[in-house]
Structure 1
Amino acid sequence: MTMKGERSEAGDPQAAGEETARHLPYPSGWFCLERSRRVPPGRVLTRRFMGEDVVLYRTSTGRPHAVRPYCPHLGAHLGTGGTVEGQNLVCPFHRFAFSPDGTCVGTPDGAPPPRARLQHHTVRERNGFLFAWYAPDGTSPTWEIPGTDHARVRPTATWSTEVSTYAQEIIENTLDYRHLPVLHHVAVEELDPPQTQGPLLRMRLRLGPDRPRVLRESVKADHTFLMAGLGYLRVEFPLPALGLVSYLWAMHTPAAPRRTRMLVATACTDIHQQATPEASLPRRGLHRAFAHAMLRTAVGKVHQDLRIWNTKRYEPRPRLAASDDAIGMFRHWARQFYPPA
């Protein structure tokens, strides 16, 4: 009950505006739909993307495509029984066939096809991942996903989950240095502060266990972070003593309002792989073992974050402390991925 002279929060325009501001729209950019190996030629998969289904498939020549899910003929869902025949995606309902550019090119009775076209998402393939472009106004891509220096690197170990929060909240976590020793017992030292270049953000940190200095000095490692939009984070750190360089990817794909699919992947290769692209069998075994160990460590940290992410709310105007300048800079950078207020 509202006492006389008081205004309910629901009836307070300012309170309503603040509550609306706590709900983020879908951001523009590149977002991971699936790992490349999960979509071999002829495979048809359905994934949730920005509040709707996306049908992902690969033609016989190996080119991936992502389309809106419904056949323009009579609305059948192409991901439920749809097939790939050569270069065409075939509807399961009446066997209307659609070419890679989305045009209807075939009917079951050989009659002239209707003037119909599937709506496509722009797709890119990088380092064993398939990405789709999203922009609220439907504009074409304005930037590209950066690949690794070792173009042959592919994820060796992967893990995924769904999180009840926004993609921005997850990737912002990387710049929240203050939570690392508190939640993860990780000591952090900023080597190169965050620097932005359009849709890219780079920084370099030295990380190690938050333990006595003697132990920390022996196991700390320098990590190079690269963010590309709000859906892509890659961490690279060399291990010179072992002649290795390791990669960790964290992909954040909005599936529905305040629902994000998170994919964590790891890989490891020789530092000088470009000179000797084919590693020996023992070295490949070492790469796999290290990648799996790295994934287990990363997933353990993510589980610690999940109980925070799944219950926190987005604060549009956070009350930042003096040492939170990296978060403030990130928030300013992130604005470019949303439509104007």
Structure 2
Amino acid sequence: MLLQLLYEYVCAHPLLISSTLLILYIAHITLKPLNRIRRLGDVGLFFGKPELSGIYRERQLERLKLLRRMGEMPPVFPNGWYCVCESEKLEKNQIMEITVLGQFLTLIRSESGSVYITDSYCPHLGANFSIGGQVVNDNCIQCPFHGWIFSAETGKCVEVPYDEGRIPEQAKVTTWPCVERNQNIYLWYHSDGAEPEWEIPEIPEVTDGTWKFSGRTEHEVMCHIQEIPENGADIAHLNYLHKSAPPITKGSNIINTDLTDPQPVVQHVWDGKWEVRSEEEKHCGVMHLSQYMTLWGSKLPLTESKLIAEQLGPGIVHMTFDFGFWGKGIVFQTVTPEEPLLQRVRFRMYSDIPWFFVKFFLAVEAMQFERDVYVWSNKKYLKSPLLVRNDGPIQKHRRWFSQFYTENSPRILKDGSLSNQAKSVFDW
């Protein structure tokens, strides 16, 4: 009876029902946090005119990987903390395969909520824990092949279900140092086997909920990891590559954007500096940046922002924003080397800023970042660049960044292989 009445009402008022559903849908996509994801090939690479598609696009992507001139690059996996997962994506009793440092690893959340990282392959007969494995006994992982159980905390085998004899001493799986902080899960890597040399600072406003999750973006970038944070010291590129606001019709595509216009209609005006925080915290570099926008040369009100970006090692940046009237917030930028020349870059924002402003900010920030992706994805690394006085402290940044490499840091060889594989500090 109720369904019949509902059906008759819909038939009698189709326009009203359609309009209501449309309004609800628009409200949904407008109010929910931004989630912008760009995979390799979506942005930053040129596929010809007319643009190739389908299998030809895939072939061109492989050709670009092989033929691109990379230059004399530093080692590909610097020492430091790397984000491997966002906290809300890993539930209790869940196993997840992650890609980092050129290999698959297994991420585990125990029944009590703790996180652990292990190598993915069972030392018994090589089965992959991530494909069919189970979390058991709170913080143990059970192999899907024969049911062997390993402690995710120590890596040691604690049970062979079909054998009551003594468990072999060598029956253990390598574990990796990890920590969960600021709604992200991080892995520690050091090529000499050194344990964590600094801690990731906790942001109280994120932990206590003062700043709410405001959106995220994610990009796959084909470049060396050092190219990305080096932008913080490259002050000169801000007022050229990022001078004009991204046109709505062209977005981030620098091939179709006139970057030479001396006076864009909508312009970003940047002023910044980069420096090492202190000798005691030499793993931290700091960028101070102020920005506002102009319309036909006149400063737009309520567009000014101030940024303090703290670079913590090679893979983490805490960007604290002050938007004045609009509020404050932080963006966690993480760069994770999944392969020697493939970086996964995530931006996650927490703030007390109104939803409409923060969504606009994140969208514009993503498009400006994608302009850099066009450059990074196609450039060659120059060990000795030709610099002029106003380029910014690029060489100073490179000297600072070099502290994250040692003799054992893996290098990419001419044939594309690695000089040595990255391994856990617990595997020395």
TM-score (norm 2): 0.67
Equivalent in the alignment of 1:12: none
Matching of residue 188 in structure 1 with residue 270 in structure 2: yes
Question: What amino acid is the match of 1:336?
Answer: Q
Distance 2:372 2:333 in 1: 13
Is the CA contact (8 Å cut-off) linking 2:292 and 2:305 kept in structure 1?
yes
Partner of 1:167: 225
* CA gap 1:332/1:64 in 2 versus in 1, 3 angstroms: same
> For residues 20 and 177 of structure 1, what CA distance do their matches in structure 2 show?
23
Report how far residue 216 of structure 1 moved. Answer: 4.8
Asked if structure 2 preserves the Cα contact closer than 8 Å seen for 1:221 and 1:237, the reply is yes
The alpha-carbon deviation at position 21 of structure 1 amounts to: 3.1
- Counterparts of 1:88-107 in structure 2, within 5 Å, are 88-99=140-151, 100-107=153-160
Q: Mapping of 1:1-341 within 5 angstroms?
A: 21-85=72-136, 86-99=138-151, 100-109=153-162, 111-112=164-165, 113-115=167-169, 116-150=171-205, 151-152=207-208, 153=211, 155-185=213-243, 186-190=268-272, 193-197=274-278, 198-209=282-293, 214-216=298-300, 218-242=302-326, 244-269=327-352, 286=354, 288-340=355-407
Task: Judge which range, 81-90 or 217-226, deviates more.
Answer: 217-226
Asked if the contact 2:288/2:308 (under 8 Å) is kept, the reply is yes
Summarize the Cα distance change of 1:290–1:102 in structure 2 as closer, same or farther, 3 Å threshold: farther
SS at structure 2 position matched to 1:114: coil
Q: Distance in 2 between matches of 1:317 and 1:239?
A: 38
Taking only the aligned residue pairs, the percentage that are identical comes to 26
Letter of the 1:114 partner, please give it.
P
Letter in 1 for 2:132: G
Structure 1, residues 104-137: CA drift from partner, whole Å, max 9, x if none? 1112225243331111110011110000001112
User: How far 1:44 sits from its partner (Å)?
Assistant: 1.0
- Matched AA of 1:329: K
CA-CA distance at 1:174 after TM superposition: 2.2
Which amino acid in 2 is paired with 1:66? I
Q: Deviations over 1:268-325 (max 9, x none)?
A: 137xxxxxxxxxxxxxxx3x55443332122111221111111011111111211123
The SS at the match of 2:201 is coil
- Give the unaligned 5+ runs of structure 1: 1-18, 271-285
Partner-residue secondary structure (3-state), 2:402: helix
Local SS of the residue matching 2:306? strand
Displacement after TM superposition at 1:211 (Å)? 5.1
Give SS of 1:67's match: strand
- Structure 1 match to 2:251: none
* Structure showing the higher strand proportion among its residues: 1
| Deviation string, structure 1 residues 48-76 (Cα, Å, up to 9, x no partner) | 11111111110001100111111111111
Q: How many residues get paired?
A: 306
| Contact 1:232 1:251 survives alignment (8 Å) | yes
CA 1:75–1:154 in structure 2 vs 1: closer, same or farther (change >3 Å)?
farther
Shift of 1:212: 5.1
Q: Choose 110-119 or 65-74, whichever is displaced more.
A: 110-119
**Alignment partners' CA distance in 2, 1:70 and 1:106:** 17
Residues 332 and 347, structure 2, Cα contact 8 Å, conserved in 1 = yes
Deviations 1:91-110 (A, max 9, x none): 11111111122111112225
1:326 to partner: Cα distance: 2.0
CA distance in 2, matches of 1:174, 1:193: 7
Q: TM-score, normalised by structure 1?
A: 0.83
Q: CA RMSD for the aligned pairs?
A: 2.2
Bigger RCO (CA 8 Å, 6+ sep): 2
Structure 1 counterpart SS, 2:186: strand
Q: Report the AA paired with residue 164 of structure 2.
A: A
Structure exhibiting the larger radius of gyration computed from Cα positions: 2
Separation in 2, partners of 1:325, 1:248: 23
